[in-house]
Structure 1
Amino acid sequence: MIGYQLVSEAAPARWLVDRIGEFGVDVRSVTPAGFEAYARLFHPAYLDGREVSWREVAEASGHVAHPGMQWPSITDSLRFLSHDDQPGLWDQPPDEGTLPAGPAQRLSAELARHTSTPDTCWYAVWDGFGGVPVPAGAARFEIPGRGMFLLRGTVATIAEAPPLDGWEQRPNLWWPDDRAWCVATEIDFMTTYVGGSAAAIAGLLAVPGLEICEVDPGTGIGFDGDTLNPRPAR
């Protein structure tokens, strides 16, 4: 795991375990409660290698782009979750369960400005990825619905280190040692959530190339969280 350091004690994650809520309810089910503000980052789709925003897809389909939108609702079908395409609009769906390389670089560069400990960052990885073996002696902990193991790096490691398995898999949770913010990419989601100070979230909203918006922490995170677009066809 080039760039990440193995740790043997899960103590740095205990605060997070105490603040993540019941699985599958709202933003605080994946990102710790108690932050001043929260944001949702939409992983881009692609067309011939070019990033395509969810807003583009929603508007092309006659739907509404908003903080709670869900990919099946703006594409009108569950079949677009992992395959198929919409010709001329996108030919590769958003990455699921991992933060893409471009957004990872932009996100980490801005978040490094909003912590006093950019040289110490903790990274947690779901222990169920078939291509990411859990290292012997790795520190492990549990959050609702997920077992995790812990690594250490710097805030820049998420962007600079190779993917964990050669298939673009990056850590699912990461936070600096001062706990100024926390980033969460749930394994079944095509989006990433961030909790932090109002200044940190405002900074992220101003980063070029990030499709990101502020979100209420009580917003639903399932398909039914999209209350403005129709439920997708099966």
Structure 2
Amino acid sequence: MVVGSDEEVPPELPREVLDGPRLRLPHRDHIVFSGPLRDAVRIGHTYSWGEFATQSPTLFWAADRSWCVASEIDFDSTLVGGSAELVAAVPGLPGPRGPAGGTHDSLRLDGDAVNL
């Protein structure tokens, strides 16, 4: 409901999606979708003037778990996990920027010790 108004505002997602499966991680609650990879670019929202803005999934992975992509919502980073050959074959990714990331590496602006 809009503050100061009796008008109901519909949710951004249908009720069946909001009530669907969730992936719960510390400090994050994700809605889970399933489908072909090409549908990932159809996730987003439409502005009131009709323009559609895509929103990258925060996490997505292959059914066989051979690869995973994670876009950090609080930083400007997207991580691609998989074999070295798979990562090298992803179009648009710059060449290797350093060793594979570790569990204690920082995604903060000042966390890149390789590309200063």
TM range (shorter): 0.5 to 0.7
Equivalent-residue separation in structure 2 for 1:132 and 1:172 (angstroms): 17
Q: Which has the higher helix share?
A: 1
CA-based RMSD of the aligned residues comes to 2.4
Aligned match for 2:82, one of 186, 193, 196: 196
Aligned residues: 94
Flag the 1:216–1:210 CA change in 2: closer, same or farther, 3 A: closer
Return the TM-score normalized by structure 1.
0.35
SS in 2 for 1:194: strand
Aligned match for 2:34, one of 146, 152, 163: 152
Alignment of 1:222 onto 2:108:
yes
Flag the 1:170–1:184 CA change in 2: closer, same or farther, 3 A: same
Q: Give the aligned partner of residue 85 of structure 1.
A: none
Q: How far off its partner does 1:132 sit? A: 4.6
Alignment of 1:165 onto 2:49:
no
Flag the 1:192–1:137 CA change in 2: closer, same or farther, 3 A: same
Q: Give the aligned partner of residue 138 of structure 1.
A: 20
Return the TM-score normalized by structure 2.
0.65
Percent of aligned pairs with the same amino acid: 33
Superposed CA deviations along residues 61-98 of structure 1, whole A, max 9, x for unmatched, are: xxxxxxxxxxxxxxxxxxxxxxxxxxxxxxxxxxxxxx
Aligned match for 2:71, one of 174, 185, 190: 185
Answer with 1 or 2: which has the greater Rg: 2
Amino acid at match of 1:168: T
Moved over 4 A (4+): none
Q: How far off its partner does 1:212 sit? A: 5.3
Greater RCO (Cα-Cα under 8 Å, separation 6 or more): 1
